[in-house]
Structure 1
Amino acid sequence: MRIGLVGLLFSGLIGACHGQAIEYRTVALRGNVAPGTSAGTTFFGFEDSMVDSEGNVAFVAVLFGNDVNVNNERGLWAEHQGVLTLIAREGDQAPGMPAGVLFDRIFDPVMNSNGNTAFRAWLEGPGIDGTNRDSIWSESTGMGLGLVVQGGTPSGISGVDIGGFASPLLGDNDLVTVKTFLSGASVNSLNDEAILVQPATGQVAIVAREGDQADGAPAGVVYGIVAPESINASGVVSYAGTVTGAGVTATNNRGLWLAQTGGSIELIARGGEPAPGAGGDSYLAVGTSSLNSLGDLVYLASLQGPGVTFSNGSGVWKKRDGEPSQLLVRADTQSPGAPTGQHFGTFFVPLVNGTRSVGFAGELIGATVLPLEKRAIWSEGASTALELRLRGGNTSPDLAPGVSFSTLNSPALNADGLLVLPALLTGSGINTSNRDVLVGMEPGGDARILVRTGTMFDVDDDPNTTDLRLVVNPIRFVELSGGEDGRPTGLSRNGQAVFTLNFQQTFSGVFVASFAQPSCLADTNGDGFVTPADFSAWVAAFNTQAPACDQNGDGLCTPADFSAWVANYNLCKP
């Protein structure tokens, strides 16, 4: 496993290095043998990758080999206790199904904090047709891979069958929620969508269905289009949707609900209802929510009312389990960490992590806000106020002078407040071939560049050798999760970020960057021990101007680092 000082490969100055050590791990490369396949079958390409709480990785990959064809070229792999394992492959027998029923297509994988996966799949084979080919599968601890629900299954309502599916969400209790499209003699365009939840025992059940009475609404007001947004470790589901019926207008036709594990459903917010903390203004459109394992809910809503202007018509609310919702922030109010007069403008998807910290991306407004500075990331801690973490125009110790961030995507957030997000750069020497970056940011720390297009990246795990490849677009990273909401995430609880890279000459791979300090700077050979052998390693690092040379943290590799290495050795030696 290699340890690199972030910034070395991005600086263009061989002797330059910066700040915190980031530990990199190669999970899989194009050309590696694909576990669970026949001899000679290798990975050819990779799609999105995701991670559990301990840094185990899952991904979908395309295969290459003598027995690979269009019917079996894709599969889902996951690390179980660090061992990469084939979960499902197109063309393989679907477990528990009649002989000859195969996985035809694998979609939309998700991995939970326990390292179990769920996915959507099309089936093919005897007895499979357009009404029952769609299916949802999941792993559960100690039980392996099993069918959750299949199209064509009776829904429990007379004359109504479950049909196709959207992307599943997977809670940390290994239970699934998913949107389904219904079929049957009594089904029409006004009642053909529903949300399914998998209980701890028994078959999946419909929680909310288009055309049914909307929970918490007056009699005759029914659900319209509904979709699940998150599921937590207790199996609580947040879902958003529209309503129709008597008295429903464009000002009150959107809502947000919580479905509890016991079967009760609570209307959290609906258009037309007073919005807490909004000075008499009401909700307009409600939705875009996230849950954590404690039952905390955070959601975004737009506003209407006499106090609403063009610039202040939205906000973010949070709700703790058993407590009423509270306004966290409203548009057109002063942003912390920004000059006076620079206000919150637009909000994107809000997230909540396991320590009740809320984070979100958005845009700033104000007369002094430059176009470059609009995009920003905010977060709060369990006992700290909301703060501005990063904005356009900020820079990083890993960037050259005159280079800064421009566009910031929404982040992934973990329970320690670590943020990881894709971003774009602007400034001197920046173009479309070297502007894409993946950024990591610890609370109170600098924004660090984990990987950047147009730079060389070492794909070899061996600390004594290098295999440098030129990174090209796209850098694939799964954001928009707080880690406990049932959605896939590229960021683990213990500070590991997984991403998929493409390189020049069609090479690709899946990698993990870990936010972990080396045990001792004097351990220059990276073997986890401080011995005289590290002196030889330091000399080699000095001669090659490698990152391990810099022992005094001044960002340079000079003879002064020898004295610093001796001091570090004396501090760390047994």
Structure 2
Amino acid sequence: VLPYVLNAKAAGATATTDTGVLVLNQDGSLQDKAAREGQAMTGLLGATPSSEPGVFGQFFSRAAVGADAAIQFYGYPAYWLPDGETTALQSLFADRFNGLEVASIGQGNSALGMDPAILFQSVLGETMDSFSWFLYRGTVSGPGVTKSNNEVLWHENVPAQPLMRKGDEVLGIDSGIFISRFLKFWPVDTGTAIVLAKLSGKGVSSKNDCIVFLVQDDLTLLPLMREGDIACDWDCPRIGVIQQVEVEPSTGRYLIQASLTGASTRNQALFAGSAGYGDSGTGKFKRLPAMVLRKGARFDTGFSDVTTVKSILIEPRTDKNGAGGKGLGSILTAAGYGVITIQFQNGAKELVSGLLVP
């Protein structure tokens, strides 16, 4: 699935027809080109500001694909102009390869799972789980909405519902700690989502203001890691900065790369866990991450001398809006195998693969 912007100066393209989404076969041949700016919609269903179909407006140059190709849905945000109206509206579309566009949510609709007077306004980021349900971030307007609570993260499962909202109080009743920003998010088939968020409020500082949550299937929030937490190792270092997060959506396996407090020779580690372990009740501790590699550890790849780890790097693929698991490349497989980059004290730098999350 390839979002595109054409050269509007070239023959056949204008400023009102130069964006869209192509579907390509594995050999690069064209399968579908129906989703294009200026094209009439072939079949519009679902939540729309108007019951009448119209034409596509500007596309956002983004797309998402679920991990299960058999379902054959993909998604994208775009403007659309309903028949008989003059104002283009932002919408999020799910499209089947047979050319049926389904508007999942549109600007001016009542925000899903919220007070009907609160209206959906814009799409800030989107991804798709293996069952072709959207996980998306957007803004709302209406009664009681301010800059401190105008962003929401929704999952489009049945029924569609908000998972988290900017301004929500977290980490206990009357904690005085609130969600201030959504940084990154991934769908998880075995739960709902994994979210990297920024906090504000009581006791929050630059040393503890980032956190990774698992939104569980009962919609409770399980903190997986927070900056300032004690990391489980013999010297009890604390988490410094959460540097990178990667999630494999179909199983919920995940990696977290973080800096640690303490000696500079041991101040970084890689953690691994799975949202698919345990349950949302007494077994939720099984979903927490464990340290699998730490800077300073002795290491033998089999291709170089035994030496110590100098730095660890994972390179997840999220888009610029923080959405992951949307069809981009991944360093982690459903079986838990992955690829990481390790810099060693002897100067070697190697790509190392293996079972990272059993």
What's the C-alpha RMSD, in Å, of the aligned pairs?
2.5
The AA in structure 1 aligned to 2:305 is: G
5+ residue gaps, structure 1: 1-19, 323-574
Q: Does 1:288 align with 2:298?
A: no
C-alpha change, 1:216 and 1:33, in structure 2 (3 Å) is: farther
Structure with a larger share of its residues in helix: 1
Contact 2:113 2:160 in 1 (8 A): no
* Distance (whole Å) between structure 2 residues aligned to residue 92 and residue 211 of structure 1: 40
The AA in structure 2 aligned to 1:302 is: I
Q: TM-score, structure 1 length as denominator?
A: 0.47
Q: Does 1:155 align with 2:166?
A: no
Q: TM-score, structure 2 length as denominator?
A: 0.73
Contact 2:179 2:198 in 1 (8 A): yes
C-alpha change, 1:320 and 1:271, in structure 2 (3 Å) is: closer
Measured against aligned partners, the alpha-carbon deviations of 1:27-77 in whole angstroms (never above 9, x if no partner) come to: 4122233424433632122222232323322111122355454xx632110
Counterpart secondary structure, 1:29: coil
User: In the alignment, which residue of structure 1 is the partner of 2:238?
Assistant: 221
* Distance (whole Å) between structure 1 residues aligned to residue 81 and residue 251 of structure 2: 41
* Distance (whole Å) between structure 2 residues aligned to residue 258 and residue 111 of structure 1: 23
Q: Does 1:101 align with 2:118?
A: yes
Tell me the matched-pair count: 291
Measured against aligned partners, the alpha-carbon deviations of 1:326-379 in whole angstroms (never above 9, x if no partner) come to: xxxxxxxxxxxxxxxxxxxxxxxxxxxxxxxxxxxxxxxxxxxxxxxxxxxxxx
Measured against aligned partners, the alpha-carbon deviations of 1:114-142 in whole angstroms (never above 9, x if no partner) come to: 211111112221111122222211122xx
The AA in structure 2 aligned to 1:30 is: E
- Alpha-carbon distance, 1:203 to partner: 1.3
User: In the alignment, which residue of structure 2 is the partner of 1:258?
Assistant: 272
C-alpha change, 1:176 and 1:27, in structure 2 (3 Å) is: farther
The 5 Å alignment of 1:160-175 reads 160-173=177-190, 175=192
2:92 aligns with one of 60, 67, 76: 76
Q: Which runs of 4+ in 1 moved over 4 A?
A: none
C-alpha change, 1:124 and 1:227, in structure 2 (3 Å) is: farther
C-alpha change, 1:320 and 1:268, in structure 2 (3 Å) is: closer
Counterpart secondary structure, 2:75: strand
Measured against aligned partners, the alpha-carbon deviations of 1:81-127 in whole angstroms (never above 9, x if no partner) come to: 85321112233210121132122221221112221111111222111
* Distance (whole Å) between structure 1 residues aligned to residue 233 and residue 149 of structure 2: 34
The AA in structure 2 aligned to 1:281 is: T
C-alpha change, 1:64 and 1:134, in structure 2 (3 Å) is: same
* Distance (whole Å) between structure 1 residues aligned to residue 35 and residue 187 of structure 2: 24
The 5 Å alignment of 1:116-131 reads 116-131=133-148
User: In the alignment, which residue of structure 2 is the partner of 1:271?
Assistant: 295
* Distance (whole Å) between structure 2 residues aligned to residue 217 and residue 133 of structure 1: 43
Contact 2:155 2:161 in 1 (8 A): yes
* Distance (whole Å) between structure 2 residues aligned to residue 179 and residue 172 of structure 1: 17
* Distance (whole Å) between structure 2 residues aligned to residue 123 and residue 255 of structure 1: 38
The AA in structure 2 aligned to 1:288 is: E
The AA in structure 1 aligned to 2:291 is: L
User: In the alignment, which residue of structure 2 is the partner of 1:31?
Assistant: 38
Counterpart secondary structure, 1:167: strand
User: In the alignment, which residue of structure 2 is the partner of 1:447?
Assistant: none
* Distance (whole Å) between structure 1 residues aligned to residue 239 and residue 30 of structure 2: 52
Contact 1:214 1:223 in 2 (8 A): no
User: In the alignment, which residue of structure 2 is the partner of 1:184?
Assistant: 201
Contact 1:112 1:174 in 2 (8 A): no
Measured against aligned partners, the alpha-carbon deviations of 1:158-203 in whole angstroms (never above 9, x if no partner) come to: 2212221023111233621111111112111111111111122241
Measured against aligned partners, the alpha-carbon deviations of 1:240-263 in whole angstroms (never above 9, x if no partner) come to: 22222x32x2x4333221123323
The 5 Å alignment of 1:253-402 reads 253-261=267-275, 262-277=286-301, 278-286=304-312, 287-288=314-315, 290-296=331-337, 298-305=338-345, 307-308=346-347, 312-319=348-355, 321-322=357-358
* Distance (whole Å) between structure 2 residues aligned to residue 186 and residue 288 of structure 1: 31
Q: Which has the larger radius of gyration?
A: 1
The 5 Å alignment of 1:10-25 reads 22=29, 24-25=31-32
Counterpart secondary structure, 2:110: coil
- Which stretch shows the higher mean deviation, 32-41 or 96-105? 32-41
Contact 1:232 1:292 in 2 (8 A): no
Counterpart secondary structure, 1:147: strand
The 5 Å alignment of 1:477-492 reads none
C-alpha change, 1:80 and 1:148, in structure 2 (3 Å) is: farther
* Distance (whole Å) between structure 2 residues aligned to residue 21 and residue 183 of structure 1: 47
Q: Does 1:41 align with 2:54?
A: yes
